[in-house]
Amino acid sequence: MPVNFDFNDLYAFRALMEYGSFRLAAESICLSQSALSRRIEKLETALGNRLFDRTTRRVTLTLYGQNFAERSEQLLAHVETVLADISQSARRAPGW
């Protein structure tokens, strides 16, 4: 089943999860609050579930969001490891 989101959406999710505030999360990843909100809405739409409970003061993970957080962290860690390995291999290759 194809999903319509990208790694930047996952990084936006991670920031909002970490900071618990749209303002702080947006600042941490150099986005406007509205751009961050659109990324989170896009992710929630693609997954068919709400990831966060929102109040005027705080943003917290839903139960589904907690489950997704564990899986997305594993995915991002794997991608970051692969990219670091590729970068390191490229530096060791002749002609680089």
Measured N-to-C along each axis, helices 33-47 and 7-19 cross at an angle, to the nearest 10 degrees, of: 110
- Number of Cβ within 10 Å of residue 82's Cβ equals 10
Cα 51 from chain centroid (whole Å): 11
Query: Given its phi and psi angles, is residue 48 left (phi above 0), alpha (psi -120 to 50 degrees) or beta?
Result: left
Structure tokens at 14: 């991670």
**What is the pLDDT, as a whole number, of residue 43?**
96
* Residue pLDDT, tens place only, 21-75: 999 999 999 999 999 999 999 999 999 999 999 998 899 999 999 999 999 999 9
Complete domains list, the chain, with CATH: 7-92 (1.10.10.10)
Number of Cβ within 10 Å of residue 40's Cβ equals: 22
Q: What is the pLDDT of residue 91?
A: 78
The reported pTM is 0.82
| Beta strands in the chain, from DSSP E residues, in sequence order | 52-54, 59-61
